[in-house]
Amino acid sequence: MQLAVATHSRLLVVELDDSWRVSNLRTLARGHHYGLGLRHADGWLVSKHNDRELTYYHLDGDQQAGFVEAIGGKAHYIHQIACVESGIYVTNTGYNSIVFRSHDGALWDEHFIDHQRTDVNHINSVFPCGDRLLVLLHNRGVRPSQVLLMQHTPGRGFVRERTMSVAHMGCHNIFYDGRTLYYNASSVGKFLGVSAERNRIVHDLAFPGHAKGLSVTQRHLIVGYSDHTTRDLRHTSRGHLAVLDRADLSVKATVDLNVHGPVGNVNEIRCLSEPELGQAGPQGLLETMPVVALRSSEGKAARARRLISKLKVRLRIEGP
């Protein structure tokens, strides 16, 4: 299996053998990387390195950079991107919006969540399925994360159809297979699966670190997890992958990415050797999705302790 992995310090191509051991690990580019999109129709891996440009890498051959293009519009603190046939969905986190940008850059549809134009909801993940999409609101770790079901008509914009809640704070990544809604509860190091029909958690896996990054193939889920550390140290932390069997979510293997030294926090994962199902789903998948409405698993006292601890860390880093 071959994977593209974006971390706080580099963009990697990781090759795993049949026993899930690292057989090759290459750095395509250095620096902070997050959003990764796949344009299989014309053979490109799209990487978001900064808030001004998208870099396109050849999926075949040496996978070197082919060209760079401007993102366009007003963009800031972009997290996840997702490529579809007609364009790219962008979580424009700094402006609290979800954006659709056509591949030729001529079309820019933008929806500001609750009319806010600053980073209030910390939008970080998107899962498009035809004319509908799921958008994950992190909510900056001060209240439970939420999932929005939205409709999008290119050129006419977005309509918010439903707001759903999950049972954790500070979440990343979102994937729905028609039965189960999956997400990373990053701050508590968990990967969750929620039965949409029964509206309850049916999978709850814990990892030793900050869970972020998700790739989905026909038979496997690949979850990223990294050392818990302060933001200024995430470029030198250790990153790992967990390979899960989609049949029962058993852990088939854990992968240490730090064979040549710490790779930094894992932000995003995309499969290059098999169809990547975690980037986007088929038309119609979300049309009959049941309402998911889970209560926060964190009590008031625990939440207060966490927020006080978070404030102490921030004061320690930034000073009074």
Averaged confidence pLDDT in the chain? 92
| Three-state secondary structure string covering 82-144 | EECCCEEEEEEHHHCEEEEEECCCCCEEEEEHHHCCCCCCCEEEEEEECCEEEEEECHHHCCC
Strand pairing category for 22-30 and 10-16: antiparallel
Rounded CA gap, 305 and 183, in Å?
24
Checking if the pLDDT of 310 tops 80, the result is: no
Residue range 226-272, pLDDT digits in tens: 998 787 878 889 999 999 999 999 999 999 999 999 999 999 999 99
Residue range 56-94, pLDDT digits in tens: 999 887 788 899 999 999 999 999 999 999 999 999 999
pTM as predicted:
0.92
Rounded CA gap, 296 and 170, in Å?
11
Q: How confident is the model at residue 303 (pLDDT cuts 50, 70, 90)?
A: low
